[in-house]
Amino acid sequence: MEIEDPEYKYSDLTHNIIGCAMSVHSYLGNGFQEVIYQRALAYELNAVGLNFQREIEVEIFYKDMPNPIGIRRADFIIEKKVLVELKALSEIDEVHWAQTLNYLRAYRIEIGLLINFGEKSLNFKRFVLSPNPKLFKS
């Protein structure tokens, strides 16, 4: 039995996801299109028994509006707790970090992983959505 690290919400889950991504990158290396890595990651997630949804349409919300303002397809939502955004780029930078944080806000999911298969070594970053103080009245 694994023990959840209290400092990192869903740490066991994100650890498992990253392990699956490492398996994919170890086998395929870099240089393929994102969809290839997405399919291989789905295989690995299934192999370890993780429940996920892939390429599902997710409603985008704005501020406190009760109805969505649009839709987007998320790469993965795993165990209904972690959003995973995949890339297959030579490098990821802060614009991709901002994109991932925006997706977390829009999807109303607290934890996210940005995983890039396009580099020589697997690159990943964990994101935690914290409340935006501007959304609360003082």
pTM for this entry: 0.83
What is the average pLDDT score of the chain?
Answer: 88
Look at 15 and 1; give whichever has higher pLDDT: 15
- Residue 108, SS3 per DSSP: coil
Strands (E), the chain: 52-60, 70-78, 82-87, 111-116, 123-128
pLDDT tier at 7 (50, 70, 90 boundaries)?
low
- Per-residue pLDDT band for 1 (boundaries 50, 70, 90) equals very low
Q: Is residue 1 one of the residues assigned to a domain?
A: no
Whether residue 2 is contained in a domain is answered as no
9-26 pLDDT tens trace: 899 999 999 999 999 999
pLDDT value for 134: 44
- C-beta neighbour count of 117 within 10 angstroms: 26
Give residue 92's domain range.
11-135
Q: What pLDDT, on a 0 to 100 scale, did the predictor assign at position 135?
A: 42
List the CATH number of the domain containing 71: 3.40.1350
Residue 103 is predicted with a pLDDT of 85
Q: Each residue of 36-88: pLDDT tens digit?
A: 999 999 999 999 999 999 987 878 888 899 998 988 888 999 999 999 999 99
Residue 31 lies in a domain: yes
Residue type, 86: L
**Using N-to-C axis directions, what is the helix angle for 11-28 and 34-47, rounded to 10°?**
120
Residue 138: pLDDT band by 50, 70, 90 thresholds? very low
In a domain, 95, yes or no: yes
Residue 5 located in a structural domain: no
CA distances from 20 to 6, 25, 62, 100, 136 (A): 22, 9, 33, 20, 38
d(CA 57, CA 59): 7
> Is residue 3 one of the residues assigned to a domain?
no
Count of the separate structural domains present in the chain: 1
Is 41 among the domain residues? yes
**Where does the pLDDT of residue 106 fall: very low under 50, low under 70, confident under 90, or very high at 90 and above?**
confident
The answer to whether position 67 is within a domain reads yes
